[in-house]
Amino acid sequence: MIDIYVTMPTSEVNNLIKMAQISNFDVQSKGAKNIPDYKYEAASAVVKWNGNSKTYEKVTFKTGGMYGRSFDKVGYNIKFDKKFIGRKSFKLRPDSGDASKIRSKLCCDIANRLGLPSIQGSYARLYMNNEFWGLYVFMDAVKPSWIKNTFDPVEKEVTTLYQCKNGGFNFTPNSQYTCINANDEYQHMTEFTNFVNAVNSAKNVSELEKIMDVKVFLKYLAMEWLIGSFDHFMVYGHNFYWYKREGDNKWVVIYYDYDNTFGSGVSASLWANKGNNQDGSGNKRGDQPVNYTFADWEKNIPVIKKLVHNNKEQFKQIVYDVLVQAFNPDLLNPRISELKSFLSPYIKEDGTSRNGKLPGRINNAGTKTTVSVNNFEFNIENSVKSWIKTKFDVACSNYGFSKSQISSEASKFRPKPFDYSYGAKPKPTTTTTTTTTTTTTKEQTKTTSTSSSSSSQPTFVAGKKYDIIKAGSGKISSEWNDWSWGVKNYKFDTQGVMVNYINAGTWGGVSFKRKDSTKFGSGVLFFKARTNDTEAVIQVILHTVDGDAIDVGHVEKVSTTKMVNYGVQINIPEDAKYDRITFQDGTNNGLILCLDDVYIMDGAYININTGKTTTTTTTTTVKPTTTTTTKKLLPPLPPPLPPLRYDIIKGKFVSPWSDWSWGVKSYKFNSDGIMVNEMTAGSWAAVSARNNGARLGNGILYFKARADEAGSSIQVFVHATNEQFISITTIENISTTKMTEYSVPVKLNEGVKFNRVTIQDANNNGMTLYLSDLYYLDGAVAVDEPTTPVKPIIITTTTTTTTTKKATTTTTTTTTTTTTTKKKTTTTTTTTTTTTTKKTTTTTTVKPTATGTKYDIISNSKIAGQWDNWSWGIKSSKFDNQGNMVNTISAGEWGAVSFKRNDDVKFNSGVLYLKARVNDTAARIQVAVHFNNDEYATFGDIKNIPTNKMAEYSIPINIDSDVQFDRITLQDNTNKGVVLYLNDVYFVENGNAEVKPTTTTTTVKKTTTTTIKPTATGTRYNILSNSAISSQWDNWSWGVKSYKFDNQGNMVNNLSAGEWGAVSFKRIDNGNLGSGTLYFKARVNVDTALLQVFIHTIDEDFISIGNIRNIPTNKMNEYAVAIDLKNGVKFNRITIQDATNEGVTLYLNDIYFIEGAAPQAKSTTTTKQTTTTAQFVIPTGECTEITPGYYPCGGLLYPDASPCCEQGFRCEIVNDYFSMCSLVI
């Protein structure tokens, strides 16, 4: 037993307890990953074990876990400043859902006996400021530091460890985006994306063995099935890491988090929608998961078909080995009894109240947990041991194994740990760079002492030479393009040396990209260099064809007086190729970098042999000579690490960035490489580029732009990986005469990453926007650039600086006139315009002018007489002596200030104006309007609200022309409570704000009815036409009494009452479809009919798209239903269901799907917008009954069902009649 004594200030403990108040309601409504953790980085700790004691002065202590955070006993993550038993990072888990308290420990033991790469498990007692907080499972955590300790890679930084934590990863295309890079400083996903693509491309096990450690994965899969885990790869798709080894470049999986095993929390409902097993064994699984075969357990995941079902003999042997080595009652029962005996006194201690409260139960809002010794022992005997016995019998029966033979072999088996050195990269003995200095002297006689060693004479192995700048040529070789950035200008001097003037604050780099298809691997890069600054650092970076940047070293203390030779050894994986090299300013202070004789020796290397050293003394006559000195080039990077550059538009969309623009009538790249965009008025047109594999954080966006119309403005956005967009700034008065360079700092909230950049027509008037040199420096920080650039032979310099300040943009124009004297006198005038933009919030803080009908809501210290106060969750509300309405909103009630019209006036689109301030800088206010039928729409939230003054806001409300509202709400969107001051609140119908709103509109209740046939572009798939179902689709309908085609070609379907009948069509080929629009014509025989539209994903899950009501009974009506899927989800089946279950005759015709299309209405017709936003039932009060996953949780047909779903599920509204506990993805 390990005892951990943590010490923190009382105020921090109180803050921890405050942030730990998380209920099951919070997890269900917000999602566990969206609830912030408590973290304190200045704790201290004393750890005692086996009579030993160790003190740690700087300890990071934070809350941890996912769904378990809704229990009263909280889990923690702890990081020591020094190693404890070889590790620094650990997890303390209460395992509140495990009454036995041995599941996690037992699974770690099993994984270790199987020789798998695995975390270790033990037990610890936690004391907070000497108060006993209870018993915990003590486990080490898989982190980059854990990889360094175990696999011991050569590289300093671990950048290929990926954590799949949130659920949904199963190697299907794009499921990689449910995982993250475990290195917080390196959030790139390219390596992992390539891995997923390679797995999908592999045809069989032999091809998979080239890219992953198949044996480790198969053992984990067998173990996952036997221990009964639904919380790993085969069901939920999370709680594991993938790590790419350095030496053999194979990926290895590492599992963690084992409390949901051995029957704990498992339910047959998890497989309710699976369908037939993909191995052909049907779907007669029954309702006892312990009896499921492996094919029953896995959810028809494509890669498992390759690994297991098409590889039966190897997997059968794997299962046999797991049973012998780790999973059989003869082996496990004694170990379980040992653990039970050890834990019994600690279980009793943990379940004993102190001062009326159980130890460590600090979450008063959470589900109460207590484990008596009786419950502890009962669960071990009747759950854990029972599962092991039954599952062992099932496995032996499934595969025809002899139990006695397994027991016999198990008694002889001696486990061996996982060999972490297997597949490792050999450690280099020496890394050197050769510096050659030429010294000419007069002939003289002297005595010289010479030390010689075989290690000082490197053996150079030649490769193929590729010139980039040929010595003395005075030009870049024709096979290479100049892709430099942050370089003010460059020239070649009279000696043929390339002189580059790199600006400060831009992390500038001199960069060369290969024009042709030639790609390079390991080798040596040679170059000559000098700088103007002895403190300069040259960072050498390679850019791979996959878009990754690889740092291969840096050169410090570069000569400022002469050109010096350098050679940099390039060692990269065999499957990695590059076509671009960069020499970057590693200090970001700006410098003059001179380069010459730059070339690659592809395939070359320098071999250093160590040997005996001898010293001799000789008398020598010294003649003019060349002395070669070898200096070590230190491999560590200089702090801070220079940012990575991502080129986005450079004469084209640079791969892997793709065009995601909208409202652009046409674009082209002219002869200067400038992108010319014809942007349509009225469409809020934008140039947008996306890189699916990117995970970019804070940095700086650079581009050059001009417009064709004076007064044009552009809005800059980035799009987060969860599809939300973030407004960065507005740039006004774009130049119409010249391309002007802009730098836009991007500052995001912690943890936010983006993969898409958008530049929008902010006036919506239409424009021709010229763009070039669009790139992003990930990790860069804005630094003021010197107003006078450094140039050689400057005679006179005159600098004029004009600064113009506006609401959101600061423009600085610098004009420099330089006279340079050579053989003749010439005068050169250079004008550089740099626009530095400040970040704006997502609302406009300058009150715009607007036209329209004004409706006062709050003015003159009162609510206007036509409005009633419909607020909720308000402790008090009053008007102060400035006429402000002061609303004290309670925490935990999602309180809101709300006003509803008390007459018959209804509103359409317009602008809501208000003044506001708050008492908390972290406050966020959500704006919503309510329609007549209790639907509502949100219009973004207001952030960064001042606490010391009233600020003015304008929120554009844009809704469909046939929809009206009569109520406005301003809600506390953090639910932490806030004092909200309001004044001058009014609405201008048909008003127009100065700036396009940077908020999104989400209609919460789904509406899908479209009454016109749109025109759209995309790939069309016919489903039903010409009195027949297309040959590419099968009829998979159910609950249909009969169907036929009438003389108009309509498919007439008689759906039975009480069977939830549906007309359903499934692709018979391998065509998997993505987002697009479904079109069809329909009518029914009763005007009360309600139709529900579903799609079925390729892994047999179904997704509700929306429902259709008011369907005509006397004519065929045309419908268009938008299908908007996220994270690469694909489907192959479409269903139209009787959502009332009362029976209906459904006429269908002209059914087809256009992939990639969005509904577009005719100009003379207004089409109601179709949305696919899921709506959820939020439980109110305590949950007294838990509904299993995939079971009904509400709706008109299930009014008594509990909306409180089991862990990992939430109650989704499918239609008015039916709500279901759906899996949280």
3-state secondary structure 546-613: CCCEEEEEEEECCCCCCCEEEEEEECCCCCCCEEEEEEEECCCCCEEEEEEEEEEEECCEEECCCCCE
- Rounded Cα distance between 83 and 222, Å, is 34
- Rounded Cα distance between 89 and 245, Å, is 21
DSSP code string of 1157-1191: ------TT---PPP-----BPPP-S---S-BPTTS
Say if CB 1004 and CB 1012 are below 8 A apart: no
In the 8-state DSSP scheme, what is residue 1139? S
CA distances from residue 293 to 228, 290, 397 in whole angstroms, order as listed: 11, 9, 10
What is the side-by-side order of every strand in the sheet holding 1192-1194?
1192-1194, 1218-1223, 1209-1215
Residues facing residue 509 across a β-bridge: 485, 584
- Rounded Cα distance between 126 and 837, Å, is 50
Among the listed residues 240, 242, 251, the one whose alpha carbon sits nearest the alpha carbon of residue 213: 251
pLDDT in tens, 504-535: 877 889 999 999 989 999 888 999 999 988 88
Phi, psi of 409 (to 5 degrees): -70, -35
- Rounded Cα distance between 202 and 211, Å, is 9
Would you state the pLDDT for residue 554? 83
User: How do 862-863 and 853-859 pair as beta strands?
Assistant: antiparallel
Would you state the pLDDT for residue 1002? 32
Say if CB 549 and CB 579 are below 8 A apart: no
DSSP code string of 626-669: EEEEEE----SPPSSPPPEEEEEESSSBPTT-EE--BSEEEEEE
pLDDT in tens, 815-837: 333 333 333 333 333 333 333 33
Say if CB 249 and CB 575 are below 8 A apart: yes
- Rounded Cα distance between 49 and 4, Å, is 9
Would you state the pLDDT for residue 805? 32
Would you state the pLDDT for residue 103? 92
Structure tokens at 415: 């486990």
- Rounded Cα distance between 281 and 283, Å, is 7
Among the listed residues 1050, 1141, 1064, 1156, the one whose alpha carbon sits nearest the alpha carbon of residue 1102: 1064
* Helix or strand holding residue 18 (H, E): helix 10-19
Say if CB 1120 and CB 1074 are below 8 A apart: no
CA distances from residue 510 to 142, 507, 540, 556, 600 in whole angstroms, order as listed: 38, 10, 10, 17, 16
Angle between helical axes of 329-350 and 403-412 (0-180°, round to 10): 70
Would you state the pLDDT for residue 716? 93
Among the listed residues 1010, 952, 1135, 1007, the one whose alpha carbon sits nearest the alpha carbon of residue 1060: 1135
In the 8-state DSSP scheme, what is residue 1059? T
Structure tokens at 118: 């695995």
Query: Which residues of the chain are modeled with pLDDT < 50?
Result: 429-460, 607-642, 783-850, 992-1015, 1160-1173
CA distances from residue 440 to 449, 623, 737 in whole angstroms, order as listed: 19, 8, 55
* Helix or strand holding residue 910 (H, E): strand 910-918
**Would you call the peptide bond into 656 cis, given omega within 30 degrees of 0 as the criterion?**
yes
Angle between helical axes of 385-399 and 312-325 (0-180°, round to 10): 140
Would you state the pLDDT for residue 428? 58
- Rounded Cα distance between 304 and 310, Å, is 9
pTM for the predicted model, two decimal places: 0.42
Would you state the pLDDT for residue 449? 35
Structure tokens at 1020: 């069309």
Query: Which alpha helices (H) appear in 744-833, and where do they start and end?
Result: none
Residues facing residue 730 across a β-bridge: 715
Q: Which residues lie closer than 8 Å to 1137 by C-beta, 6 or more apart?
A: 1060, 1061, 1062, 1063, 1091, 1092, 1093, 1094
Burial class (CB in 10 A: 0-12, 13-18, 19+), 1144: buried
Handedness of CA 283, 289, 290, 293 (dihedral sign): positive
E-strand ranges in 401-504 read 433-439, 444-453, 459-461, 464-469, 480-482, 487-492, 498-502
Q: Which residues lie closer than 8 Å to 313 by C-beta, 6 or more apart?
A: none
Say if CB 870 and CB 900 are below 8 A apart: yes
Domains and CATH numbers, the chain: 2-155+258-382 (no CATH), 464-602 (2.60.120.430), 644-778 (2.60.120.430), 855-989 (2.60.120.430), 1019-1155 (2.60.120.430), 1176-1224 (no CATH)
How many residues belong to the chain? Answer: 1225
Which residue reads 């002395």 in tokens?
627
Angle between helical axes of 329-350 and 385-399 (0-180°, round to 10): 160
Angle between helical axes of 103-113 and 214-227 (0-180°, round to 10): 150
Angle between helical axes of 103-113 and 329-350 (0-180°, round to 10): 150
- Rounded Cα distance between 324 and 104, Å, is 21
The Cβ of residue 338 has, within 10 Å, a number of other Cβ atoms equal to: 11
The Cβ of residue 489 has, within 10 Å, a number of other Cβ atoms equal to: 10
Structure tokens at 1006: 């789904």
- Rounded Cα distance between 712 and 728, Å, is 17
In the 8-state DSSP scheme, what is residue 236? T
